[in-house]
A and B are shown apart, each in its own frame.
Chain A
Amino acid sequence: MTKRLEGKVVVITGGTDGIGRGCAAAAAREGARVVVTGRNEERGRATANQIAAAGGDIRYIRQDVTDEANWDAVFAEVGDTFGSPDVLVNNAGDCILKPIVDYPVDTLRYMLQMNIEACYMGTRRAMQSMAARGGGSIVNMSSVAGLKGGVNGTAYGASKAGMTLFSKAAAAEGKPRGIRVNSVHPGLIWGDGVVDTMGEEGAAKFRKMIVARTPLKMVGAPEDIAGIVVFLASDESAHVTGREVIVDGGYMAV
């Protein structure tokens, strides 16, 4: 059977760990030529080596997604290595949670930069090259926090909600050019990132609270998001654009 992403060039930002790494491994298994980007070179190389060892065609390119000039450089390097991207997964992002009364406005600006501006720059750059090729698929990694408010999440929620509606507008613009844009909304996906954001004790408490409220009584793993990303990246979803796909154990429906 033909692999589902055979021959496609897939770029995944923030692909060096967590959800991004899970998506990269799945895309590589499905025959894509994968580029993972991120700031941490050591982790990037380790991820690429690990996926290559499993038979994947993958490269790591260092990238700061908030640096616009860097986007051009990354696209140029991807073009030289694999050819122009068919799929961009805007997965890089950050999450800082705090009560609004204690939240510095510059941290809000940082959230907007990481979660909206980076997505904007990537989408714009990808739409330019995809339009020239007759189409492509862009997948923006939002969050259930972009659909529903949560305690300590004013800045993160605003940034992910912004990304969500940005995606819909981009989908409307991309439609005549054959470019699809969708957002994916994971619930709590367990990984190092959660502990980095909340500390060990905070993360454990948060996990317990979320699991209790989640119909499936579980947290997700990066692989649980990889499946939907492969679907949205592939031609199987040729008629899906401007949509939100929620993969959250049922959390949003409660």
Chain B
Amino acid sequence: MARVAGKVVLLTRAADRVVQACAQALIDEGAHVALADTDASKADQAAATLTGAGDGIISLGKEEATDEGWLQALAAIETRFGGVDVLVNGPPQILVKSIADMTLEDLRALEETNVVEPWLGLKHGIPALRKRGGGSIINLSLTLARDGAANMSGNCATAAGSRVMSQAAALECGEQSDGVRVNSILLDHDASVPEEVAAAVVYLASDESRFMTAGEIALDGAGAAK
């Protein structure tokens, strides 16, 4: 039995290999997917690599980190599929640089992609999911949100931000009893296997996780070593 049959899922950062693996796994389990990327041609390419979607897939260019970008993407999905049930906020950008070598511009760029963009996903995704009576938002963040690492300060700060803001959003949804769940998957910045991220995404997208919110699944195997 398909685990996410008929659910409509929006995934951002379609050019990312991890996101493509998530989209394929969701399609395999019966979902319709919308792939968004700032570069529409990359979203198209990503869609073309996926199999078995039939007409249950669209790709779209989405302006990054703007209200308009999100509203347009969600409107396109509503037109095509009637609404959206699951939002997967694509993985953060990574910058490996010491604090000494980093510039303020470097930090600001990470803030835009890794905090502002998923924040807007929450801001606009939550009302969209509410229209369907609830749903699941899955934030792809990093284990660096909990465990600092050298030359990773910008990733640590922004991943921690996105992790905790997901929890805050989950609590706000709880206050409204709106049926929207928000959880994070924490990726290892250089070792997570796309198919394993996808497996966790399918679980959180499905009703199997209907009792899970404000939570997280860490996928790095380093928990024991720290």
Determine if A168 is an interface residue (Cβ-Cβ < 8 Å): yes
- Which B-chain residue is minimally distant from A247 (CB atoms)? B212
Pick the most buried of B191, B192, B199: most chain A CB atoms within 10 A of its CB.
B199
- Whether the pair A1, B28 counts as a contact (CB closer than 8 A) is yes
- Whether the pair B213, A227 counts as a contact (CB closer than 8 A) is no
Q: How far is the CA of A95 from the CA of B211 in the complex (A)?
A: 21
- Whether the pair B211, A241 counts as a contact (CB closer than 8 A) is no
Q: What's the minimum C-beta distance from A170 to chain B, rounded to whole angstroms?
A: 8
- Whether the pair A215, B170 counts as a contact (CB closer than 8 A) is yes
Q: How far is the CA of A254 from the CA of B170 in the complex (A)?
A: 10
Determine if A135 is an interface residue (Cβ-Cβ < 8 Å): no
Interface string of B201-214 (1 = CB under 8 A from A): 00100101111111
Determine if A216 is an interface residue (Cβ-Cβ < 8 Å): yes
Determine if B217 is an interface residue (Cβ-Cβ < 8 Å): yes
* Chain A residues whose CB sits within 8 angstroms of the CB of B219 once the complex forms: 237, 239-240
Determine if A187 is an interface residue (Cβ-Cβ < 8 Å): yes
Number of residue pairs across A and B with beta carbons under 8 Å? 120
Q: What's the minimum C-beta distance from B133 to chain A, rounded to whole angstroms?
A: 14
- Whether the pair B173, A247 counts as a contact (CB closer than 8 A) is no
- Interface stretch, picked from B57-65, B85-93, B106-114, B174-182, is B174-182
Task: Tell which of A172, A226, A245, A250 touches B213, judged by Cβ atoms closer than 8 Å.
Answer: A250
Determine if B220 is an interface residue (Cβ-Cβ < 8 Å): yes
Report the interface size for chain A: residues with CB under 8 A from the other chain: 41
- Interface stretch, picked from A64-72, A153-161, A217-225, is A217-225
- Whether the pair B203, A227 counts as a contact (CB closer than 8 A) is yes
- Whether the pair B224, A172 counts as a contact (CB closer than 8 A) is yes
A204-254 with Cβ < 8 A to chain B: 214-218, 220-221, 223-228, 231, 234, 236-243, 245-250, 252-254
Q: What's the minimum C-beta distance from B198 to chain A, rounded to whole angstroms?
A: 9
Binding site for A on B (CB under 8 A): 28, 167, 170-171, 173-175, 177, 181, 188, 191-193, 195-196, 199-200, 203, 206, 208-226
* Given A175-B221, A216-B210, A227-B209, 17 new contacts (CB under 8 A): A168-B224, A171-B223, A217-B177, A218-B211, A231-B200, A237-B196, A238-B221, A239-B219, A241-B221, A242-B223, A242-B225, A243-B223, A247-B212, A249-B213, A253-B171, A253-B215, A254-B171
Binding site for B on A (CB under 8 A): 1, 168, 171-172, 174-175, 180-181, 187, 214-218, 220-221, 223-228, 231, 234, 236-243, 245-250, 252-254
